[in-house]
């Protein structure tokens, strides 16, 4: 496949086939697919409950077969997302405790925040106001780390409170029954935060911002074009180059066209669904 | 045109009978056959065009067949009789009914109010006859003759109750199932002595309603008077709800229906405002709002007719009974479990400090995260749009 067929956001200047680098493994991409599918499923079936007195919530509930169907699907997605969360934790444990990959807990390849992230945030904001150059980001930029930890914290809070309500009498053996009141507040408010955050901040930062618009396909293909990699994460690019890893096993050819199209269709569907939910929930929230 | 023709028919008939009638008239009151000679003609009309026809066959089958015409039409003593005759006084025989009607809201609806319900006076059959307008299955239609008329409803300030009744469980049982014992209009309002619901004597006066409904619904009536609502009503509390406050008067629905279950918690909320608002915050209410009835509505926990305050040891929501009450839905409910607050108020710091704190924290978290990243997003968008316009594709 030659470069000119491959119309990304970044046209190559040469006739050379574009070079691609692996950013996400197949396992990570599958896990993300499970996370976003179930997230949308949970949002679709959870938001009608959070806004149960709005007309669209009632209409949606009727359309999909009533609350019984909604609850079943909500629990189904919840269990799948829990499984994905546990698989991720298991993977962290395997890489951290068994394979002793120290890099996943600290350093440039880790999602754990470090000093540079705060400096990057400060410089990024200065750049917003034409007060300095754009900061050079490493493998995970500060907003990507925030995305990760927001979802991590969200899944823990929403998951625990959700299971507490699902198995309420059982949960009451551990926690007082009055905490079930708190569980609903935590579940609903954290979910609303998660939904609005993902549908506004994550969608923009990762997909819709100029530079990635209309979407960053790397989470579907796992691969990123050399030039895009260099421009988005120059620090990591330079490090790999110096370590001589830029030419190694992580370098590959362009992703298959079907995979990119698949990513575009699925991604667009998710983004559109997200925006519809965003508009509906915002309208209801500020009308109440 | 039609009136003139009718009148000429009468004139011709009179001429034909001219020989014998005056002779009889002079002697005594006319016999039925004499009257029917004219009035028995189908299509006979008076000078005003009004029908003066009496069907001899129908009259013969009526409850009044043994009476002579002049028993009721007492002002006619001979023939020819004056063109205008006095209205019939049904009360001459039916004195109780007549005085009841005179005292009722229907006293002034017509010169002879009886006919509005009992129909053609010459064809009145027993109320047990299925062709009678006051046969139980026909009562709603009879009353509906006037009470489904929007103009009349407006004139007297009445709701259009006919359609409400027809859609109610009573109307359904009566008209669709032909259930003779189903409540029709007269079951609740009475028959001849229908009084305004504002009259303390009325069967539909607030405090009389439990007894009226209790005519059939004895069980709920006993339970109601055992409960706090009935006790308060009996004690004269004007705020105490009576049957119709929850069930409505005419549009009474089957309590198992989704429609009823969906709207009735709000009915309780008309009086129990704070409890209703806090109920709306709960999962129970959210589920209900989506049209799912297998959740806790007010009555699932508090009972219905025999509702008692929580302080009463018999109450379903007395602390000692909560494990049983909650356990009806939540298998395995324990003492700890029932410390759940079905009416918790996150806005009430005094009574629910932990819930208030968590709610405040979550709101602050939501505002700060979305506020920070919202502004971040907007600034980023502006900046990167500028840099792409002025600096080419991308500017480091």
SS in 3 state form for A67-134?
Answer: HHHHHHHHHHHHHHHHHHHHHHHHHHHHHHHHCCCHHHCCCCCCCCCCHHHHHHHHHHHHHHCCCCCC
Residue of A61, A181, A206, A234 to mutate, testing the B interface (most B Cβ within 10 Å of its Cβ): A181
Residues 290-319 of B with CB under 8 A from A: 290-292
> CATH code at A79?
1.20.950.20
Please say if the pLDDT value at position B1 is more than 70: no
Show residues of chain A in contact with B359, CB under 8 Å: 185, 189
Higher pLDDT, B49 or A88: A88
Q: Tell me if A9 is assigned to some domain.
A: no
From B332's Cα to the closest Cα of chain A, the distance in A is: 6
Q: Which residues of B touch A70 (CB under 8 A)?
A: 290
Domain count of the fold of chain A: 1
| φ/ψ bin of B178: left (φ > 0), alpha (ψ from -120 to 50), beta (otherwise) | left
A1 occurs within a structural domain: no
Task: With CB atoms and an 8 Å threshold, state whether A57 touches B290.
Answer: yes
pLDDT band at A168 (very low <50, low <70, confident <90, very high): very high
Cα dist from B341 to A166, A170, B279, whole Å? 17, 17, 10
User: How far, rounded to the nearest angstrom, does the alpha carbon of residue A257 sit from its chain's CA centroid?
Assistant: 23
pLDDT for A6 equals 40
Predicted local distance difference test score (pLDDT) of residue B208: 94
> Which residues make beta-bridge pairs with A224?
A21
Q: Cα distance from A226 to chain B (closest Cα, Å)?
A: 15
Q: What percent of chain A has pLDDT over 70?
A: 93
DSSP β-bridge partners for residue A21: A224, A251
Give the torsion sign (CA, A252, A253, A258, A260).
Answer: positive
Residue A122 or B85, more confident: A122
CA distances from A73 to A45, A58, A65, A284, B207 (A): 7, 16, 11, 23, 49
Q: Provide the sign of the torsion angle of the four alpha carbons A181, A187, A189, A192, taken in this order.
A: negative
For residue B235, which phi and psi values (nearest 5 degrees)? -75, 0
Which pLDDT score is estimated for A16?
A: 61
Report the range of poorest mean pLDDT among B140-144, B155-159, B163-167, B242-246. B155-159
User: What's the pLDDT tens digit per position in A82-137?
Assistant: 999 999 999 999 998 888 888 888 888 889 999 999 999 999 999 999 998 989 99
Q: How confident is the model at residue B396 (pLDDT cuts 50, 70, 90)?
A: very low
- Please give the mean pLDDT across all residues of chain A: 87
Position B14 pLDDT exceeds 50: no
Whether residue A96 is contained in a domain is answered as yes
Chains A, B: CB contacts within 8 A come to: 147
Backbone phi and psi for residue A254, each to the nearest 5 degrees, phi listed first: -60, 145
How does DSSP classify residue A223?
E
Distance (Å, rounded) from C-alpha A193 to C-alpha A177? 25
The minimum CA-CA distance between B325 and chain A, rounded to whole Å, is 13
pLDDT of residue A96: 87
pTM metric for this prediction? 0.78
CA dihedral sign of residues B107, B111, B112, B113: negative
How wide is the angle at C-alpha A180 spanned by C-alphas A176 and A181, nearest 5°?
A: 115
CB atoms within 10 A of CB A225: 23
Would you state the pLDDT for residue B388?
Answer: 65
Residue A24 domain-assigned (yes or no): yes
**Rounded (10°) CA dihedral B88, B92, B95, B100:** 20
In sequence order, the 6+-apart residues with CB closer than 8 A to the CB of B294 are none
The distance of B329 to chain A (nearest Cα, Å) reads 11
- Is B362 in contact with A168 (Cβ distance < 8 A)? no
Residue A158 has pLDDT above 50, yes or no: yes
Q: Do A185 and B285 touch (CB under 8 A)?
A: no
* Portion 128-157 of B in contact with A at CB < 8 A: none
Checking if the pLDDT of B200 tops 60, the result is yes
Q: Is A15 inside any structural domain?
A: no
Distance (Å) from the C-alpha of residue A150 to the closest C-alpha of chain B? 10
Flag whether pLDDT at B25 surpasses 80.
no
Cβ contact A181–B382 (<8 Å): no
Among B380, B381, B386, most A C-beta atoms within 10 A, so best to mutate, is B380
Q: What percent of chain B has pLDDT over 70?
A: 90
Please state, in angstroms and rounded to a whole number, the distance separating the CA atoms of residues A25 and B92: 103
Higher pLDDT, B34 or B361: B361
Mean pLDDT within B253-264: 86
Cβ count within 10 A of residue A246: 18
Q: Which of A45-54, B64-73, B97-106, B351-360 has the largest mean confidence? A: B351-360
- Taking only residues 332 to 361 of chain B, the set having a beta carbon closer than 8 angstroms to any beta carbon of chain A reads 332-334, 336-341, 344, 346, 352, 354-355, 358-359
Average pLDDT of the segment spanning A63-86: 93
- If you average pLDDT over residues B31-54, what whole number do you get? 87
- Per the CB < 8 A criterion, the answer to whether B134 and B118 are in contact is yes
- Chosen for mutation from A173, A185, A196 (greatest number of chain B CBs closer than 10 Å) is A185
pLDDT over 50 at A152, yes or no:
yes
A201 near A193, Cβ under 8 Å? Answer: no
The set of residues, in sequence order, having a beta carbon less than 8 Å from that of A244 and lying 6+ positions away, is none
Q: What is the mean pLDDT of residues A211-215?
A: 79
Per CB-CB distance under 8 Å, the chain A contacts of B378 are none
Residue A9 has a pLDDT of 44
* Nearest-by-CA chain A residue for B278: A181
Tell me how far apart the alpha carbons of residues A33 and A84 are, in angstroms, rounded to a whole number.
10
Binned at pLDDT 50, 70 and 90, residue B28 comes out as: low
A14, part of any domain: no
Which positions 24-83 of B are in contact with A (Cβ < 8 Å)? none
Distance CA A228, CA B53 (A): 102
Cα A54 to Cα A40: distance, rounded to the nearest angstrom: 19
- SS3 category, B104: coil
Answer yes or no: is A13 within a domain: no
Position A38 scores a pLDDT of 95
CA nearest B389 in A: which residue? Answer: A210
Domain membership of residue A77 (yes or no) is yes
Sign of CA dihedral B206, B208, B214, B218: positive
With a CB cutoff of 8 Å and minimum separation 6, the contacts of B345 are: B274, B277, B278, B281, B351, B352, B355
Higher pLDDT, B23 or B323: B323
**CA angle (A230, A235, A241) in 5-degree steps:** 70
CA distance B123 to A241: 110
Residue A172 with chain B: CB contacts under 8 Å: 333-334, 336-337, 339-340
* Phi then psi dihedrals of residue A187, to 5 deg: -60, -50
SS3 A172: coil
What integer is the mean pLDDT of B365-373? 95
In chain A, what residues touch B353 (CB-CB under 8 Å)? none
Q: How far apart are CA A51 and CA A286, in angstroms?
A: 12
Domain of A33 in residue numbering reads as: 20-287
């Amino acid at each position: 496949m030659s470069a000119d067929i491959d119309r990304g956001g970044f046209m190559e200047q040469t006739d050379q086939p574009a070079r691609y680098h692996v950013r996400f493994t197949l396992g990570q991409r599958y896990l993300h697919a499970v996370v976003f599918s179930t997230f949308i499923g949970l949002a679709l079936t959870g938001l009608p409950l959070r806004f149960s007195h709005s007309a669209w919530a009632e209409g949606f509930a009727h359309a999909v077969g009533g609350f019984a169907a909604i609850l079943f699907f909500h629990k189904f997605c919840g269990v799948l997302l829990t499984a994905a969360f546990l698989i991720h934790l298991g993977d962290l444990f395997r890489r951290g405790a068994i394979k002793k990959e120290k890099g996943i807990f600290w350093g440039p390849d880790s999602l754990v925040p470090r000093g540079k992230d705060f400096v990057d945030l400060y410089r990024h904001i200065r750049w917003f106001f034409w007060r300095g150059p754009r900061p050079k980001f490493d493998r995970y930029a500060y907003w990507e780390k925030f995305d990760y930890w927001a979802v991590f914290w969200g899944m823990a809070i929403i998951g625990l409170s959700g299971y507490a309500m699902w198995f309420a009498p059982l949960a009451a053996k551990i926690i007082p029954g009055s905490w079930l009141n708190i569980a609903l507040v935590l579940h609903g408010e954290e979910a609303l935060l998660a939904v609005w955050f993902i549908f506004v901040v994550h969608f923009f930062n990762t997909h819709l911002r100029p530079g990635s618009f209309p979407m960053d396909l790397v989470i579907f293909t796992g691969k990123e074009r050399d030039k895009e990699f260099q421009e988005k994460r120059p620090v990591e690019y330079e490090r790999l180059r110096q370590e001589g890893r830029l030419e190694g096993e992580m370098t590959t050819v362009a992703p298959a066209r079907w995979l990119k199209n698949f990513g575009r269709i699925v991604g667009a569907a998710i983004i559109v669904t997200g925006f519809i939910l965003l508009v509906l929930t915002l309208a209801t929230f500020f009308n109440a | 045109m039609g009136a003139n023709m009718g009148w000429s028919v009468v004139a011709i008939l009179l001429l034909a009978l001219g020989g014998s009638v005056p002779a009889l008239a002079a002697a005594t009151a006319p016999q039925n056959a004499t009257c029917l000679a004219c009035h028995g003609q189908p299509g006979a009309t008076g000078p005003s065009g009004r029908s003066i026809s009496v069907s001899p066959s129908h009259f013969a089958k009526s409850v009044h067949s043994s009476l002579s015409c002049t028993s009721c039409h007492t002002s006619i003593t001979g023939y020819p009789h004056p063109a205008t005759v006095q209205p019939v006084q049904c009360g001459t025989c039916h004195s109780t009914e007549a005085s009841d009607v005179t005292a009722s809201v229907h006293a002034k609806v017509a010169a002879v109010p009886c006919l509005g319900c009992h129909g053609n006076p010459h064809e009145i059959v027993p109320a047990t006859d299925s062709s009678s307008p006051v046969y139980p299955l026909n009562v709603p239609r009879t009353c509906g003759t006037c009470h489904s008329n929007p103009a009349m409803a407006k004139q007297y300030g009445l709701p259009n109750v006919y359609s409400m009744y027809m859609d109610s469980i009573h109307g359904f049982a009566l008209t669709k199932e032909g259930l003779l014992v189903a409540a029709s209009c007269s079951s609740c309002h009475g028959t001849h002595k229908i009084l305004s619901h504002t009259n303390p004597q009325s069967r539909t006066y607030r405090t009389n309603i439990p007894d009226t409904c209790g005519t059939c619904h004895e069980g709920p009536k006993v339970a109601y008077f055992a409960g706090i609502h009935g006790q308060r009503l009996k004690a004269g509390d004007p705020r105490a709800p009576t049957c119709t406050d929850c069930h409505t008067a005419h549009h009474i629905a089957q309590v198992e229906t989704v429609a009823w279950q969906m709207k009735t918690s709000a009915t309780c909320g008309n009086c129990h405002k704070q409890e209703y608002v806090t109920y709306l915050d709960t999962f129970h209410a959210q589920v209900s709002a989506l049209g799912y009835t297998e959740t806790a509505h007010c009555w699932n926990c508090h009972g219905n007719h025999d509702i008692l305050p929580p302080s009463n040891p018999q109450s379903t929501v007395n602390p000692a009974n909560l494990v049983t009450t909650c356990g009806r839905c939540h298998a395995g409910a324990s003492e700890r479990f029932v410390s759940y607050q079905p009416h918790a108020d996150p806005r009430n710091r005094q009574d629910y400090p932990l819930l208030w704190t968590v709610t405040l924290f979550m709101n602050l978290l939501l505002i700060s995260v979305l506020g920070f990243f919202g502004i971040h997003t907007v600034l980023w968008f502006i900046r990167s749009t500028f840099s792409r316009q002025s600096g080419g594709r991308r500017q480091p």
